[in-house]
Amino acid sequence: MNIPFDVLSILNGINDIGFGLRLNCGADSEKFRFVYDRILSETKEAKPDALIVLCEPFLVKFLTEGSQDIYHDWAVWYSALKERGAIVKELSQKYHTVFVPLLEAFEAALKIAPEEHWTCDAIHPSHAGHELIKREWLKTVLPVMKEKGLLNKK
């Protein structure tokens, strides 16, 4: 099936870390890189003119019933997160995509409001967290869409 699109936005990475650390069945960084690279390669081949947006994975150190392992093993989770983020940024450069830096945005937001304002469980964003993602995405992507004439397409 050939689905027409002009913009593809991807936010991927934290679930692979979680499934790997919690269930020993996620993608390690090597497999993550391989699969992500393949997705981008095939997408570029099929839709060379599409604007591809890669969002950096993020995580918030927040102690809740469902995030105790994240909170107590923060160094392990954060290290894996930084590694996945670096892979996403590297692939963004390789495929000339737009990179949306979300981890830095969430870290800056934590200086304004507490963890529970941005997330309910360290991984999934709250309404405010979704708003933060939206604003960072628009700030980064809209200028590129304007430049490429994607906002005026019908």
Which helix H or strand E contains 51, and what residues bound it?
strand 51-55
Q: Is residue 48 part of a domain?
A: yes
pLDDT at position 1 is 53
CATH code assigned at 99: 3.40.50.1110
State how far the Cα of 86 lies from the Cα of 142, in Å rounded to an integer: 23
pTM for the predicted model, two decimal places: 0.93
pLDDT in tens, 72-124: 999 999 999 999 999 999 999 999 999 999 999 999 999 999 999 999 999 99
Q: Is residue 42 part of a domain?
A: yes
Q: Is residue 129 part of a domain?
A: yes
Q: Is residue 76 part of a domain?
A: yes
Sheet holding 7-11, edge to edge: 7-11, 51-55, 98-100
State how far the Cα of 107 lies from the Cα of 90, in Å rounded to an integer: 21
What residue numbers bound the domain in which 93 lies?
7-147
**Confidence tier at 151 by pLDDT (50, 70, 90):** confident
Q: Is residue 18 part of a domain?
A: yes
Classified as helix, coil or strand, 133 is helix
Q: Is residue 154 part of a domain?
A: no
pLDDT in tens, 19-47: 999 998 888 999 999 999 999 999 999 99
Domain count for the chain = 1
Q: Is residue 2 part of a domain?
A: no
